[in-house]
Structure 1
Amino acid sequence: MRRSEFLRAVQDEFHGRAPSLLSDLVLSALSGRTAAEALDAGVPPKQIWLALCAEMDVPESRRHGVGRLEPRKR
Structure 2
Amino acid sequence: MRLTDFWQRMDAVFGAGYAPSIATDQVLTTLGGKTVREALDSGVATVTIWRAVCAAYPDRVPATLR
Under a length normalisation based on structure 2, what TM-score does the superposition of the two structures give? 0.86
The question of whether the paired residues in 2 share the 8 Å contact of 1:50 and 1:63 is answered with no
Q: In terms of Rg, which structure is larger? A: 1
User: Are 2:19 and 1:11 aligned?
Assistant: no
Task: Output the amino acid matched with 1:46.
Answer: V
Q: How many residues align?
A: 64
Under a length normalisation based on structure 1, what TM-score does the superposition of the two structures give? 0.78
Cα distance in 1, alignment partners of residues 21 and 61 from structure 2 = 20
User: Are 2:61 and 1:40 aligned?
Assistant: no
Q: CA deviation at 1:12?
A: 1.1
Cα distance in 1, alignment partners of residues 13 and 3 from structure 2 = 15
Structure 1 runs of 4+ with >4 Å offset: none
TM-align CA RMSD: 1.4
The question of whether the paired residues in 2 share the 8 Å contact of 1:6 and 1:49 is answered with yes
The question of whether the paired residues in 1 share the 8 Å contact of 2:31 and 2:39 is answered with yes
Unaligned runs of 5+ in 2: none
Cα distance in 1, alignment partners of residues 55 and 62 from structure 2 = 9
Cα distance in 2, alignment partners of residues 24 and 36 from structure 1 = 9
Unaligned runs of 5+ in 1: 65-74
